[in-house]
Amino acid sequence: MGVRYGVLGPLEVTIDTEPAALPAAKQRIVLAALLLSANRPVSVEELAERLWGEEPPASAKATLQGYVLRLRRTLTAAGVDPVRTRPPGYLIEVEPGQLDLDVFKALVAEAESAPASVAAERLREALDLWRGPALSDVPSPSLHAVAGRWLAELRINALERRIDADLRLGRHADLLGELAGLVADSPLHEPFRAQLMLALHRSGRSADALETYRDGRAAIVAELGIEPGERLRELERGVLAGDPALDWRPEAPDTAEVPGSTVLRPQALPPDVQLVGRASLADELTRRLASSSPHSGIPVVQVIAGMSGVGKSALAVHVGHQLRPHFPDGRLHATLSDATGPIHPAEVLGRLLRLLGVLGTHLPDSVEGRSTLLRDRLAGRRVLLVLDDAVDEAQVRPLIPGDECSAVLVTSRNRLTGLAGARTVDLTVLDASDSLRLLETVLGTARIAAEPDAAADLVRQCGGLPLALRVAAARLAARTSRPLSWLVAQLADEQRRLDGLAAGDMQVRASLATGYRALDEEQRRALRLLGSLDNTEYSPRLAAAVLDRPWHRAERLVEDLVDAQLLELTGVADRYRMHGLVRIYAREQIEAAERDAALTRALTAWLIAAEEAEAVMPNAGWLPHLPGRGAVATGDPMAWFELERQELAIAIEQAAAAGHAEHAWRLAAACEGFLELRGYWDDWRRCHERALVAAVTGNDRWGEARMRYGLGRLCFAQDRYVLAERLFSRALELWTGDRLSQAHALMALGDVHHHNGRLDLARRCFEEAALGYAAEHDERGAVNAGFCLGLIHRDLGDPDAAKAAMAAALSAFRGLGDSYGQAQVLLFLGASHCKWGDQDAAERCVSEATALYRGFGDRLGELRCLRQLGHVLVSRGETARAERVLNGCQRAFAEIGDVFGQATSCWSLAELALRDGDERLGRRRLADALDLFTKAGLEPWQRRMRRRLAELGRSAPV
């Protein structure tokens, strides 16, 4: 059954030459909008705008569904059912040759590189398809505003080219009447007026040609207030001067007659384009292709591989134009894919052979026969073949010349690794600087400079993809009154971003769809599943979990996507990355159930890996966790967390947003020890806050308590003691019935009280925690509680009890093999010896603790040790060394936002100045330390600084 659609005139549907009635105006609008984006989804929002304009009714989505349903019934009753539901809306499936617009474009494309006689005929056939103004019976102002001018321009451009071809064929006299009518209808359209002037001049009517120019100039000046364009002005000068270059001469290509063919020197490349950011690569490719092949019988073959829209075709065409002097026998161009998929090699060979002058009646039927004929016609000739958008190696092999004289430049979304002798260059997206330059080439420097932040956001939203950048620039160029921020706001919503990256026939979604359709079903599934994650990078382990495939099969699928330029290798630890726009497109293709299952598998894999790594961290076992965690991992856990840090944060946020509360808080908890050791405060806060919201929303009390406890520890580390106390107290309440977790919370509360000088409260917390640890047989916790009670003895003025408690704790931690516990005790034992006046013992303890913390990769612990070492050096009077250590500590504490560390370093520097007799400097540093302790809210330390200032004989500042 033959179905045909017509948009080049009134909307028309014919089935087996019989028209199908579409009386309802709304159905015609929907069908027209779908046909103008045939085989590509049209969003619900766009269809609503076509139906109702910029202010659709609240019921637009439901009403649209009704219109689509009735349209389907109408078409089904006529015998076809081409409309499909596809996120984010609907599409209509159209086969090649069914839509008059597609036929029109194909004929115009065929005329592009054809001889003048063939071009004129093809363009005439294309123009004959028009039955009047496009979609003249479709009552949609929005549709006509968007597509009307574009379709009219297509027709006018084809008409201009057909007239140019007729002029090249010497048909100037036959064109006079037609051109006179066109100029009368469109007096400001300069190309028609220039063609009329040339036709009049060649017909011996130069005076009329000049009169045509004067009439046109008067109209343009009167209507627009500007002079005619350079083409008309040059034509006027040429007619006045009798320039012989304007005279008609028959086209005489350089040919050699052979039986059944005319061997030409075709120059069939599309027009050159302005490249941005590719100059050095273009020069490199030009040199490579211009060099003679080092192997007899083997041509130079160069592949440009890259994702859809990255600019492969533009680069290849540009290089082809640069190579003109090196290939005097011709430069051929063939497109190997269209909207329907790959073009068969036989058809491509037929096009190339016709360009070389082989008559259609002399073309062999088989691919092998045509390939042999192509090699014969190219033998011994310097010809460049530019083969654009190849799908695979099998499509390219029959097109390769048979000797070293010619060269081949191939573009492909695949790397074509099986193409023998070929060299491949991977074309990547533009960096931020080149992306801005590309925008400037279309919008101008001033417009970009006026909104630098919006321009940077636009570059980020487009991900440096040249096609996306050109589409965005085209939309802004068509709306000169709109600021860049207008489009940035439209593209901010990822679910609508691909809708916004469409301008005429330039559509990022359509470009990505071509690559997606070229995959097999399992590869498509892999792309959909990986795209469902918010993560920007994928490890092989994560990919295997998401794809639910054995490791080796998942790796093969991921490598297939790399070869298809839909994933890229990051160059770090076999990790893969997906471009943001590819991820958005992949998400449009996935169903909700498939997406949720993939996310669950991914989060489970993350959790297993994170908890395995956390179990072998230096501070493992010091934080509360649920029983029953997985096996212990091998390798360096700190290195693993460092590598995965940003991806883990993204996974936690996605888990929280998707309602996977337990995955979210357990992942955050597993990361906490690492984030603390490395001082990644912002990551710690963001991950715990997101997970806390998810736990509260999901009524997960244990998870809520764990996140409040973790946030409390962060607040304590950042000297926010009031908030830390509230968080620990709430965690203690939520953990009612879980004695071990309550013991952890009591220890944390005891630390807050101790730090604020509330020694009785601190002691009660530590004693109650010790009872909880003992009841739960947690030896590490019990030892730690005993150690903290020793610090209380120290601060209450009982050094003997303190020494005994700390010595017992150090011995116990060594017996447990707990290096982290040893480091904690050694640091505080060193500070205590310093306080007791034994500086040698203090330095030994602090040095040993420093080495341990450095081995853990615990920057904050190491800094605290160095600060204590500085205080020991001050007490010893080692001025130069002490000042160097303490100044370095103060800068480092400031960098990570540790106010307490800054304050204590400043206090030690004050004591150093006072010891050296510089009372003025000492007072100033004590005042600075007081300000910092005040900022941290530490009353005991504020009182201590005030007392020290008072001792110097002057009242301390308030």
Q: What is the pLDDT of residues 425-475, one digit of tens each?
A: 999 999 999 999 999 988 889 999 999 999 999 999 999 999 899 888 888
Residue of 450 and 72 predicted with greater confidence: 450
Q: How far apart are CA 256 and CA 357, in angstroms?
A: 10
Phi/psi at 907 (5° precision): -60, -45
Q: Report residue 336 as tokens.
A: 């190997």
Over residues 352-365, the mean pLDDT reads 76
- pLDDT tens by residue, 294-345: 777 789 999 999 988 899 999 999 999 999 889 988 899 999 987 667 888 9
Strands (E) in 250-391, as ranges, are: 256-258, 261-263, 300-305, 331-335, 337-338, 341-342, 384-390
What confidence tier does 226 reach under pLDDT thresholds 50, 70, 90?
A: confident
> What span, in angstroms and rounded, lies between the C-alpha atoms of 53 and 671?
50
Angle formed at CA 162 by CA 160 and CA 168, multiple of 5 degrees? 105
Confidence bin at 259 (pLDDT 50/70/90): very low
In terms of DSSP H, where are the helices of 113-254? 116-127, 141-143, 149-168, 172-185, 190-202, 206-224, 230-241
- Which has more confidence, 653 or 908? 653
pLDDT of residue 339: 65
- pTM for this entry: 0.64
Q: What band does 235 get if pLDDT is binned at 50, 70 and 90?
A: confident
CA gap 547, 216 in Å, rounded: 66
Q: Are strands 300-305 and 407-412 parallel, antiparallel or unpaired?
A: parallel
Query: What pLDDT digit, counting tens, does each position of 908-953 carry?
Result: 889 888 888 888 898 999 999 999 888 877 777 888 899 888 888 6
Distance of alpha carbon 622 from alpha carbon 780, whole angstroms = 8
Is the separation of the CB atoms in 906 and 890 below 8 Å?
Answer: yes
Q: Helix (H, G, I), strand (E, B), or coil: what is residue 69?
A: helix
220-241: average pLDDT: 84
**Secondary structure of residue 675 in the 3-state scheme:** helix
**Residue 388: strand, helix, or coil:** strand
What mean pLDDT do residues 771-787 have? 93
- Average pLDDT (191-206) is 90
Residue 73 has what pLDDT? 82
570-575: average pLDDT: 76
Looking at residue 98, the DSSP 8-state letter turns out to be: S
Helices (H), 2-59: 25-36, 44-52
Q: Are 123 and 85 in contact (CB under 8 A)?
A: no
Asked whether residue 574 carries a pLDDT value surpassing 80, the answer given is: no
Confidence of residue 890 (pLDDT cuts 50, 70, 90): confident
In this prediction, residue 293 carries a pLDDT of 76
Tell me the HSE value of 478 on the side-chain side, using a 13 A CA sphere: 13
What is the full DSSP assignment across 852-864? HHHHHT-HHHHHH
558, 570, 288: which is closest to 422 by C-alpha? 288
pLDDT tier, 359 (very low <50, low <70, confident <90, very high otherwise):
low
Handedness of CA 539, 545, 549, 550 (dihedral sign): positive
Q: Which of 101-110, 528-537, 707-716 has the highest mean pLDDT?
A: 707-716
Q: Which three-class secondary structure state does DSSP give residue 710?
A: helix
Tokens of 175: 């064109």
Q: What value does the mean pLDDT take over residues 87-95?
A: 86
Range with lowest mean pLDDT among 104-118, 312-326, 827-841: 104-118
Q: Is 90 exceeded by the pLDDT of residue 636? A: no
Mapped onto helix, strand or coil, the DSSP state of residue 825 is: helix
Q: Which two tokens stand for residue 517?
A: 């359709």
Q: What pairing do the DSSP bridges indicate for beta strands 537-538 and 576-577?
A: antiparallel
Count other C-beta atoms under 10 Å from residue 76's C-beta.
12
Residue among 584, 591, 603 nearest 546 (CA): 603
CB-based contacts of 899: which residues, under 8 Å, 6+ apart? 718, 719, 893, 932, 935, 936
Closest CA to 546 of 560, 564, 528: 528
H/E segment holding residue 500: helix 494-500
Rounded CA gap, 269 and 927, in Å?
77
Q: 569-578: which pairs have CB atoms within 8 A and are 24 or more residues apart? A: 570/537, 572/643, 573/539, 573/643, 574/539, 574/540, 575/537, 575/538, 575/539, 576/537, 576/538, 576/543, 577/536, 577/537, 577/538, 578/530, 578/531, 578/536, 578/538
Residues 694 and 708: their CA atoms lie apart, in Å, by: 12
Give the pLDDT of residue 261: 44
pLDDT at 256: 40
Question: CA nearest 747: which of 717, 723, 770?
Answer: 770
Task: Tell me the average pLDDT of the chain.
Answer: 87
Q: How many Cα atoms are found within 13 Å in the side-chain-facing hemisphere of 505?
A: 11
Give residue for tokens 């290509």.
253
To which residue do tokens 């092949």 refer? 293
Confidence of residue 78 (pLDDT cuts 50, 70, 90): low
Burial 344-382 (b: 16+ CB within 10 A, else e): ebbebbbbbbbbbbbeeeebbeebeebbebbbebbeebb
| Phi (first) and psi of residue 297, to 5 degrees | 85, 0
Contacts of range 795-803, beta carbons closer than 8 Å, 24 or more positions apart: 795/754, 795/759, 796/759, 799/832, 799/836, 802/832, 803/832
Mean pLDDT of 475-491: 88
Pick from 904, 926, 903: which is nearest to 914 by CA? 926
- Give, to the nearest 10 degrees, the angle between helix 739-755 and helix 759-775: 160
Taking each helix axis from N to C end, the angle separating 637-657 and 661-678, rounded to the nearest 10 degrees, works out to 140
Lowest mean pLDDT across 273-277, 282-286, 786-790: 273-277
What lies within 8 Å, CB to CB, of 69 at 6+ separation is none
Give the pLDDT of residue 260: 41
Whole-number pLDDT of residue 143: 86
Q: What pLDDT, on a 0 to 100 scale, did the predictor assign at position 253?
A: 47
Sign of CA dihedral 759, 764, 767, 770: negative
What is the rounded distance in angstroms from the CA atom of residue 448 to the CA atom of residue 533?
33
Taking the C-alpha atoms of residue 246 and residue 879, their distance in angstroms, rounded to an integer, is 92
Peptide bond into 88 cis (omega under 30): yes
